[in-house]
Amino acid sequence: MKKVLIPTKLAGVAASMLQTAGYEVVQDADTPLAEQVKQHPDAVAVIVRSEKVTPEIMDSLSSLKLVIRAGAGYDNIDIVYARKKDIDVMNTPGANSNAVAEEVIAMVLAHFRHIVQGDLTTRQGLWEKKNMMGTELTRKTVGIVGLGNIGRSLVKRLQGFEPTLLGYDHFLAKQRALIIGVTPVSLEELFSQSDIVTLHVPGGPATKNMVGKEFLSLMKDGSVIVNCSRYGVVDEEALVAIRATGKKIAYLTDVHPQDAPGDKPSAAVADLILPHLGANTKEANLTAARRSAEQLIAYFDEGDTSCVVNAEFPSGLNPAHLRLSMMLGTLARKAGGEQAIRRIDCTFYGDLKLFRKWFTPHILEGALPNAEKGLMPAAADQSFKEHGIVFKAREPKDDVPYGDSITLDFMTEGHGGESVCTSVRGLVAEGVPMVSRLGNFNGLYFDLRGHSIFFRYADRPGVIACIASVLSDNGINIDNIVAPGDSVSGEALAVLKTNKPVADDLLKMIASAIEARMAFSVDF
């Protein structure tokens, strides 16, 4: 009988379902996981919520095959070490989306109607009704940053309040946003027009201090910002500075550096602060528990790995080709101006066509950097669908001598709503991932590793010298350069590898100096 550890306060339905399916279940939320693994070293699976699954924990469970995070994020599990130990890791995405969406509405209503203050003062025998003039949520303009599972759930839950819904999701096609009932706008428009801004983006370097002075200064006087995403997305020091100018912006948050007792850095700035209650509902707990049990049973009984987030690639596939596909996805996204993607067509040549489904998660990572990483092919394909992107693998022409190479064609929405195609091709040569074509520029064979900058411009003498001069003046050395021209368009492409990253402001300065029609950088 297979043994499963559940060292957390997870709804009992998980244990019940597993026991009915013939599993031995040990559910103990009071004993630390490290102690439990000593008592049950023969466990084959562990279901956790916030408990950390470290290399030491995995080493102590010699029969461990599966770890399930009953929730979306899995940064409490060392997924890289798990892969080395041939341990699969799963999550249950979407299980808490409704709970978080409802929490956002609850926080806004609590703020608008002075619920917390009203309760406290009335219990004290005071009658401060005259100081508690409220605001109605009905018919307000709500800006939703991030239209993933939670953002889309929030759209549905807000409908009864007859709001004007504005949305920003850099990687969601505009038509898809309109279909779900949201008017797609730029971040500048969203922050300047909204009465309420609610954030639903991942954490990490890409969104660190995303909401800073620039966006906060655009917000209306008396507006509200709700952060139920990750701590650090809002630059709280910038918020304090904006308030010091006299602008009134309310700040409601339930995210913190650590989910643990102790002083909270947001306490001094937040108008309403909660202990990360987003997923803390009986229903979300029940859903996560049920999905955890269903996924565990399907994994062991049917070999279903569709929810595995640290997938292993199949035997015979060079991992360098998987990394190449991610790099090409990133390159196509940036070369296309990072516009909303409508369609991705892929062609895998040579032996790669035998493994084409395994490339889907890596292309997803390059095309949609904020999407979930480490998905299995079926889950990655579903993620593309949820973002409104048609993702297709085409049959290669047998008479095309491209060897084991990959072509990606990205169809994006242009600024005027027209469809724009960005095409890239790449291959692995002696273990090195290389881009061989970008648009109409062939024969690049440029090593994608390291720091690279790309410029497309009207072909003329002196451009390369200008780029090199600016880089030199800023202490940046050029390690490699290719600069093919296109006689049909009269344009040239300069691709330079540098010894260190080129800052955005410097990139813009060079682009302006050479009148570049396209300029971007990549760092791998």
pLDDT in tens, 234-276: 999 999 999 999 999 999 999 999 888 999 999 999 999 999 9
Out of 169-173, 437-441, 462-466, pick the least confident: 169-173
Q: How far apart, in Å, are the Cα atoms of 409 and each of 83, 277, 377, 388, 404?
A: 31, 42, 19, 16, 17
Rounded Cα distance between 502 and 345, Å, is 31
Rounded Cα distance between 329 and 312, Å, is 20
Out of 94-98, 309-313, 320-324, 385-389, pick the least confident: 309-313
Out of 209-223, 268-282, 416-430, 488-502, pick the least confident: 416-430
Q: How many residues does the chain have?
A: 524
Closest by Cα among 217, 271, 213 to 247 = 217
Single-letter code of the amino acid located at 486: D
pLDDT value of position 416: 67
The packing angle between helices 115-123 and 97-112, to 10°, is 60
Closest by Cα among 69, 82, 90, 68 to 306 = 90
Asked whether residue 374 carries a pLDDT value surpassing 70, the answer given is: no
pLDDT-derived band of residue 175, with 50, 70 and 90 as boundaries? Answer: confident
Asked whether residue 2 carries a pLDDT value surpassing 80, the answer given is: yes
pLDDT value of position 415: 67
Contact at 8 Å (CB) between 95 and 49? no
pLDDT above 90 as % of the chain:
77
Indicate the helix (H) or strand (E) that contains 325.
Answer: helix 319-335
Q: What is residue 505's three-state secondary structure?
A: helix
Q: Mean pLDDT, to the nearest integer, of 110-129?
A: 96
pLDDT-derived band of residue 185, with 50, 70 and 90 as boundaries? Answer: very high
- Which residue intervals of 264-318 are DSSP H helices? 282-302
**Token output for 439:** 């648009």
